[in-house]
Amino acid sequence: MTAATHHPAQRVMVLYTGGTIGMQASANGLAPASGFEARMADYLASQPQLQVPQWRFREMSPLIDSANMTPAYWLRLRTAIIEAVEQDDCDSVLVLHGTDTLAYSAAAMCFQLLGLPAPVVFTGSMLPAGVPDSDAWENVSGALSALGQGQPHGVQLYFHGALLAPTRCAKVRSFGRNPFVALKRNGGTPKANTLPGELMYRQPRHEASVGVLPLVPGIGAAQLDALLNSGIEALVLECFGSGTGPSDNPAFLASLQRAQQNGIVVVAITQCHEGGVELDVYEAGSRLREAGVLSGGGMTREAAFGKLHALLGADLPLAEVRQLVELDLCGELA
């Protein structure tokens, strides 16, 4: 399908989760606030030159600062998106979300909504709507206009006039109007020929437990074991360079081997903004592979975290989870 054949949105469901975009002053600082639907309607009515599709509005509960986002909330958001398409007869969805964890949520939804026959766009703002120099309304109207022009099925992130693939981008700035950038990660990983039926959007999901551990000089088995023994089902291991770690530390490698024996999936990604993991290039990487660590290729932290939640939450056999980690499902490794 080419961009020219994407059907323009006719009925958009706007899901408001909270975040800076709708925050208002409180005694303790900016906090999520209800009433954004009326403010959005007033703004769009004041801009008759804007061509946006019809839209409906649903306020998620509770409204949250995105710093409080959780995988459990993702499952509620997933359900709300599916209901918008299958029950409310909407042909597209716009999610309003705080920027701090927006890339995480959008990446997670890429895997949670595989096969959904509708486009989903996430946006937010760096300053609340209505304050001087806010980017809120330009992002809302820009995202609606993009949907009105026709977008492919799947999840995208809209910010500052650009549409980004959530599995290939990250928030890299805490200021300004352009906090998200596409990361230049190595691709070339084989694409899954067919996706298991359990991964399709209509199938049930449950919450999984996934940890993240960045490697630093001198890290040892004690820190790794503390996380592995915390009840997690999978671990995103943020390695140095092309996928290296403390390969001369027998206790560290033994911990990784125990993780595999205990059914914990460990996936290596790079801490670098560009490039990716190739575990067999250096001995320090190949020993991680020998200990059972899987290659995350060029996946971002956000993509790897969201992918593991989706795979484990679908109750796939462990061997299939390990296989699918290293195969491209929706552009995260392309």
What is the pLDDT at residue 40?
Answer: 97
Confidence at 188, pLDDT banded by 50, 70, 90: low
What is the pLDDT at residue 5?
Answer: 57
In degrees and rounded to multiples of 5, residue 236 shows phi and psi of: -90, 115
pLDDT above 70 covers a percentage of the chain that reads 98
Q: Which of the listed CATH numbers 3.40.720.10, 3.40.50.720, 1.10.10.10, 3.40.50.1170 matches domain 3-182?
A: 3.40.50.1170
Strands across the sheet containing 54-64 = 54-64, 11-18, 92-96, 119-123, 154-159, 162-164
Q: State which H helix or E strand residue 62 sits in.
A: strand 54-64
For the chain, give every domain's residue range: 3-182, 197-325
DSSP for 139-162 reads: HHHHHHHHHHH---SEEEEEETTE
Residue 311, pLDDT above cutoff 50: yes
Tens digit of each residue's pLDDT (9 = 90 or more) over 4-21: 458 999 999 999 999 999
Catalytic residues, which ones? 20
Residue 1, pLDDT above cutoff 60: no
Q: For residue 155, give every residue at least 6 positions away whose Cβ sits within 8 Å of its Cβ, in sequence order, or none.
A: 106, 109, 110, 113, 119, 120, 121, 122, 166
What is the pLDDT at residue 187?
Answer: 62
Distances (CA, A) of 39 to 33, 55, 134: 11, 14, 14
Helix (H, G, I), strand (E, B) or coil at 328: strand
Residue 185, pLDDT above cutoff 60: yes
Tens digit of each residue's pLDDT (9 = 90 or more) over 129-149: 999 999 999 999 999 999 999
Residue with structure tokens 């595999």? Answer: 260
Q: Which long-range contacts (CB under 8 A, 24 or more apart) does 1-4 make?
A: 1/152, 3/150, 3/152
What is the pLDDT at residue 310?
Answer: 98
Q: What's the whole-number mean pLDDT along residues 112-125? A: 98
Q: What's the whole-number mean pLDDT along residues 55-84? A: 98
Q: How many CB atoms lie within 10 A of CB 194?
A: 5
Alpha-carbon distance 81 to 92, whole Å?
9
Tens digit of each residue's pLDDT (9 = 90 or more) over 254-268: 999 999 999 999 999
Tens digit of each residue's pLDDT (9 = 90 or more) over 17-41: 999 999 998 888 999 999 999 999 9
Sign of CA dihedral 297, 301, 306, 311: positive
pLDDT above 90 covers a percentage of the chain that reads 91
Tell me if domain 3-182 and domain 197-325 are identical in fold. yes
Residue 327, pLDDT above cutoff 50: yes
Q: Which of the listed CATH numbers 3.30.230.10, 3.40.50.40, 2.130.10.10, 2.40.160.60 matches domain 197-325?
A: 3.40.50.40
What is the pLDDT at residue 193?
Answer: 83
DSSP state of 191: B
Mean pLDDT value across the chain: 95
